[in-house]
Structure 1
Amino acid sequence: MSFEITKELTKNPKTKPDSSNLVFGKHFTDHMFIMDYETGKGWHSPRIVPYQPILLDPAAKVFHYGQTIFEGLKAFRKADGTVVTFRPNKNFERLNRSNERLSIPAIDEKLALEALRELLLIDQDWVPSEEGTSLYIRPFVIATESALGVNPSEKYMFMIIMSPVGSYYAEGINPVKIFVESKYVRAVRGGVGNAKTAGNYAASLKAQEEAHEQGYSQVLWLDGVHLKYIEEVGSMNIFFRIDGKVVTPALNGSILDGITRNSIIQLLKHWGWTVEERQISIDELVEAQKSDKLEEIFGTGTAAVISPVGEISYAGEKFTIRDGSTGELSAKLYDTLTGIQRGALEDPFGWVVEIK
């Protein structure tokens, strides 16, 4: 597939926000990427245009049948001013896996990578340089056909928007408290739990709201059949350091294949750690805690990179992990991966891609 990406530059550049006081997803760069799809014509008209609202018919299928997927990745500014991204090819590979599950036509991954590169070159001044900051990148697809009827849309839009964001940890990496959810379920095998689609997040909001009311920042999801086996935390994958080994739930069709998850597993194995990807029950976790074998818990994801867990609540009991402080492995993983992403540490895996 060969396309020329057309470019229309803004005549009214925005005032950039204060990089020392950035919040997540509130400010957006001057430009965006758009490409359209129509049955019989395929993907066409790739273009970079000024950031702007989009016009959709009230009958657009995205509103009624939820055909939408998205991705999340970041660009960083190195100390020498170079702009880099972290494993963007993996995001577009996963985007197409989500497309397949939601009956959305595949995107040409090379074109998507080139569109991202050109968009970043145009808006590179929006990539902040302060410690812990980055440019968050959100590719997404929506169904745009104006028709009511439960079948795949014949029209779509693929877009990329970007937002400068601050450090996830304003005062340093701090443990969070998580609530083990035993009433609601997030996904089941055969559903859309392994796709990055909006419905998964909408389905999680009620449990998240109730957990917040009890003082917990995240929800630990159990499997949707037995409410017994651990799956993931909020928008993160989850890891447990138990008796000298690192355990994480195996990808089973209802867990998102996290790119940070994959990177952490590679990094741990590179260091010589034993990593077990397997089924783990909440009962096994509680037993490990009570027998003093549970050494650390941490979540992994694009936004936080590493999110240590200091306390879990399950079945009316509260369990403090370690003494509620950040574990040494969690801290080392955070420092190493963020160091690789920002170019401060060697990248032995070839994960960092320079934008030029």
Structure 2
Amino acid sequence: MAAFGTVFTPEMIISRFNNNSWSTPEIVATDSISLHPGAHVLHYSSTCFEGLKAFRHADGGIYTFRMEKNVARLAQSSQLLALPGFDKAMLSKMILDIVSRYAADVPQPPGSMYIRPTHIGTEASIGKAAAPSLESMLYVLLSPVGDYFAGGAKPLRLLLEDNARCAPHMGMVKSGGNYASALQPIMKARASVQADQVLFCPNGDVQETGAANFLLIDGNEIITKALDSSFLHGITRDSILTLARDRGMTVSERELTVDELLERAAKPGTEAALSGTAAVLTPVGTLIHGGKEYQVGSGVAGATTNALRQALNDIQWGKAEDKHGWLTKVC
């Protein structure tokens, strides 16, 4: 089976910003993009993107999940990167139009259609290191995907790193540069201690991993960092916290130190997990810090993690009531 995110539909939808206006979105071949080698994005990283999914329900209907949240976050990222602003209704229609066109390619559960809206600066100018791109390209790419963890999600090993994932003022921007800055620490962690990911904890403040938000589950309480500009405001994170409140759990969005994390993690029954669009909610079994390994609870996926993951999946696949209005019907 092909690796997650490596298979694409043959077409995508695109709009270009030139001369202070957006072109009418059009469907083009996926491999049709051409960029001037001096394009702003290639030199000054004026790029942001989103990741959301469309799901096939038992009645054959196709639904996106929390699309408006992803569209709003891309608009925010574009603003923070000084990229041209776009009409959120235009992008929403672009997403629905291209997903509808490839509705037959949306896999059955547990698969889905991964949707990647992307916005890049295209102005050909290598003199704009301290100025924004006045031209840009907004497109929506589709990738049919299977279960991110075929055969089941094994508990992850996280190395706690006393550094930030990216520049603090850039954390809430979903930009390629943030992932690039986290790559070397993650590679080193895999090679040195066989960690699956790095949990970035600058000055002892537990934040996020290279590609997911972090949640600590202690009995009936979920603890996660309060929202600020230093890390990504995950939509899956928000969904899981909402479902936890629905179950009567206490949600504590606050500062969490490394010392408190390691102390709580040692308690029987404690769970930890990573939340994100691709993996939904993935258990964490081991924390590595200061040359020592700390088992989280029993070291395996806990009952609360599994229940919250299943609750979210059931809504996405139409097996449970969508009480929060998270689904948008495509066709």
> What interval of TM-score do these two structures reach, taking the shorter chain for normalisation?
over 0.9
Q: Does 1:259 align with 2:235?
A: yes
Is 1:77 the counterpart of 2:56 in the alignment?
yes
Measured in 2, the distance between the counterparts of 1:354 and 1:320 equals 42
The corresponding residue for 2:253 is 277
Aligned to 1:143: 121
Moved more, 306-315 or 237-246: 237-246
Contact in 1 for aligned 2:166/2:182 (Cα 8 Å): no
Partners of 1:124 and 1:289 in 2: how far apart?
A: 43
For these two proteins, the number of residue pairs brought into alignment is 328
TM-score (normalizing by structure 1): 0.89
- 1:45 alignment partner, SS class: coil
Per-residue CA shift, 1:86-107, capped at 9, x if unaligned? 0100000000110111001222
Report the Cα offset of residue 265 of structure 1.
1.0
**Partners in 1 of 2:58 and 2:155 — Cα distance?**
28
Contact 2:285 2:299 in 1 (8 A): yes
> Is 1:43 aligned to 2:22, yes or no?
yes
Q: Provide closer, same or farther for how the CA distance between residues 188 and 68 of structure 1 changes in structure 2, counting only shifts above 3 A.
A: closer
Alignment partner of 1:323 is 2:303: no
1:302 aligns with 2:277: yes
Q: Which residues of 2 match residues 199-218 of structure 1 at below 5 A?
A: 199-213=177-191, 214-218=193-197
Q: C-alpha offsets along residues 109-144 of structure 1, whole Å, 9 cap, x if unaligned?
A: 111111111111111111111x31111110001111
Equivalences for residues 1-356 of structure 1 within 5 A: 21-38=1-18, 40-129=19-108, 131-149=109-127, 150=129, 151-182=131-162, 184-189=163-168, 191-213=169-191, 214-223=193-202, 226=203, 228-290=204-266, 292=267, 295-356=270-331
Instruction: Give, in whole Å, the separation in 1 of the partners of 2:50 and 2:299.
Output: 32
TM-score for both structures, normalised by structure 2? 0.96
CA-based RMSD of the aligned residues comes to: 1.4
Deviation at 1:293, TM superposition (A): 6.5
User: 1:9 matched to which residue of 2?
Assistant: none
The letter for the 2-side match of 1:323 is: S
Residue 234 of structure 1 deviates from its aligned partner by: 2.0
Shift of 1:50: 2.5
SS of residue matched to 1:230: coil
| SS of structure 1 residue aligned to 2:178 | helix
Q: Which runs of 5+ in 1 are unaligned?
A: 1-20
Whole-angstrom distance in 1 between the partners of 2:247 and 2:320: 15
**Identity rate, percent:** 37
Letter in 1 for 2:276: G
Secondary structure (helix, strand or coil) at the match of 1:135 reads strand
Q: Is the contact between residue 30 and residue 123 of structure 1 (CA under 8 Å) also seen in structure 2?
A: no
Shift of 1:45: 2.8
Residue type of the alignment partner of 2:182:
S
In structure 1, distance between residues paired with 2:219 and 2:55: 36
SS of alignment partner, residue 347 of structure 1:
coil
Q: Could you tell me how far apart the structure 1 residues matched to 2:298 and 2:69 are?
A: 36
AA aligned opposite 2:306: A
Output the CA distance in 2 between the equivalents of 1:318 and 1:57. Answer: 49
Counterpart residue identity of residue 124, structure 2: S
